[in-house]
Chain A
Amino acid sequence: MSEAYNQRRGKTASDMPPIETVTINVIVNGKPERLTVEPRMTLLDALREELALTGTKKGCDRGECGACTVHIEGRRVLSCMTLAAMQDKRRVTTIEGLVQDARLHRLQEAFIEHDGFQCGFCTSGQIMSGVALIEEARAGWPSAATEDLRSPFDIGDLSEAEIRERMSGNLCRCACYPNIVDAVAEAAARR
Chain B
Amino acid sequence: MHPFALSRADNLGTAIAAHSQDPDLAFIAGGTDLIGLMKDHATFPERLLDINHLPGLARIEARADGGMRIGALARMSDVAADMEVRLRFPVIAESLLFAASGQLRNMASIGGNIMQRTRCAYFRDETDGRCNKRSPGAGCAALHGLNRNHAIFGWSESCVATNPSDLAVALAAMDAIVIVRGQAGERRIWFKDFHRLPGSTPERDNILDRGDLIVAVEVPANTEARASHYLKVRDRASYEFALVSAAAAVATEDRRIRSARLAMGGVAHKPWRLTAAESALRGISLDDIDGLRSAIAVSFLDARPLAHNAFKIELAQRAALRALQTAGARI
Contacts and interface: CB of A to CB of B under 8 A. Distances in A.
B106 A39 contact: no
Contacts of A39: 3-6, 48
B131 to A, nearest CB: 13
Contacts of B77: 75, 136, 141
Contacts of B213: none
A169 interface: yes
B80 A40 contact: no
Interface in B61-113: 77, 80-81, 83, 86-87, 90, 93-94, 97-98, 100-104, 106-107
Given A149-B86, A152-B83, A75 B106 contact: yes
B50 interface: yes
Contact of B102 (A22, A61, A136): A136
A40 B2 contact: yes
Interface string A162-180: 0011101110000000000
B294 interface: no
A168 B239 contact: yes
Contacts of B44: 5, 8-9
Contact of A16 (B3, B52, B94): B3
A149 B32 CA distance: 26
A66 B101 contact: yes
Interface string B48-59: 101010000000
A17 B31 contact: no
Interface in A94-140: 129, 132-133, 136, 139-140
Given A22-B6, A129-B103, A141-B77, 11 more contacts: A40-B4, A63-B104, A81-B104, A82-B35, A142-B93, A143-B97, A143-B102, A146-B97, A150-B87, A150-B90, A169-B100
Given A66-B101, A142-B93, A77 B106 contact: yes
Interface of B: 1-6, 28, 31-32, 35-36, 38-41, 44, 46, 48, 50, 52, 77, 80-81, 83, 86-87, 90, 93-94, 97-98, 100-104, 106-107, 126, 128, 135, 237-239
Q: Pick the most buried of A22, A78, A166: most chain B CB atoms within 10 A of its CB.
A: A78
19 contacts: A5-B44, A17-B3, A38-B3, A40-B2, A42-B35, A78-B104, A83-B28, A85-B6, A133-B102, A139-B81, A142-B81, A142-B86, A144-B98, A149-B90, A149-B93, A168-B101, A169-B100, A169-B104, A170-B101
A82 B94 contact: no
Contacts of B6: 20, 22, 39, 83, 85-86
Interface in A1-32: 1-2, 4-5, 8-9, 16-17, 19-20, 22
A93 interface: no
B107 A81 contact: yes
A14 to B, nearest CB: 14
B174 to A, nearest CB: 16
A125 to B, nearest CB: 9
A69 interface: yes
A169 B101 contact: yes
A76 interface: yes
A190 interface: no
A62 interface: yes
A-side interface size class:
35 or more
B81 A4 contact: no
Contacts of A169: 100-104, 239
B81 A81 contact: no
B102 A129 contact: yes
Contacts of A22: 6
B238 A81 contact: no
B31 A76 contact: no
Contacts of B48: 39, 83
Nearest to B107: A77
Contact of A132 (B39, B41, B102, B107): B102
Contacts of B41: 1, 4-5, 8
Contacts of B83: 152
Contacts of B35: 42, 63, 81-83
Contacts of B107: 77-78, 81-82
B28 A86 contact: yes
A132 B135 CA distance: 41
Contacts of B32: 63, 78, 81
B229 to A, nearest CB: 10
Contacts of A170: 101
B50 A76 contact: no
B260 to A, nearest CB: 21
B3 A86 contact: no
A142 B97 contact: yes
